[in-house]
A and B are shown apart, each in its own frame.
Chain A
């Protein structure tokens, strides 16, 4: 299967700070999704972004498919942004997940 590496594994931010999370993958993909897992365990779809750039409020994402990486940007972070961020990719139907980046935003 496709290997997915996320960095950094942990990130501690002061409220209001900006940050960048990275996802590297080992093969071409037709699906790349970013998720936020909240403290209750729910997975929230952030972006479906197999290529290109998208923005949604304070979050944006860019995928450079030819170089096999994706970046998730969090701007003006808030305490509600805390949780684990997962990148997942697929070149068919099966999503392969990275190990996640745990983000802690301190007030």
Chain B
């Protein structure tokens, strides 16, 4: 969805480096999410945020941290990247209202050597 953007789109880094993935949205949604996808699998939730001051761990948060700089921006950091964090990372947003539909960004393909 063009309303949710992610940077960078592709990144190759080395073991031990710190990496930040950024997500911005113009949908005006309060809720933002980070997911990871491994080859041949569905997506798994890393972190989610219901507003700027409400950040929560998902099912696979170890090795990751996040920052919600503003309603429209949600960043994911890998403090010390390791090869098994090689994956496709997606940001998503949803509205707080009754409709729970989530909208996804284009993804960031991260390779850790």
State the A residues within 8 Å of B (CB). Answer: 1, 4, 30-31, 33, 35, 41-43, 45, 48, 50, 86, 88, 90, 93-100
Contact = CB atoms under 8 A, between A and B. Distances in A.
A41 B43 CA distance: 12
A93 B42 contact: no
Contact of B42 (A42, A88, A94): A88
Instruction: Give the contact-size bracket for chain B.
Output: 20 to 34
Nearest to B50: A93
Nearest to A97: B42
Interface string B94-110: 10000111111011010
Interface of B: 1, 31, 33, 35, 40-45, 48, 50, 58-59, 88, 90, 92, 94, 99-104, 106-107, 109
Contact of B107 (A42, A48, A50, A96): A42
A88 B100 contact: no
A99 B41 contact: yes
A94 B106 contact: no
B48 A48 contact: no
Given A95-B43, A97-B42, A99-B41, A48 B90 contact: no
A98 B43 CA distance: 8
Q: For A33, A48, A95, A100, which residue has the most chain B Cβ atoms within 10 angstroms? A: A95
A42 B109 CA distance: 11
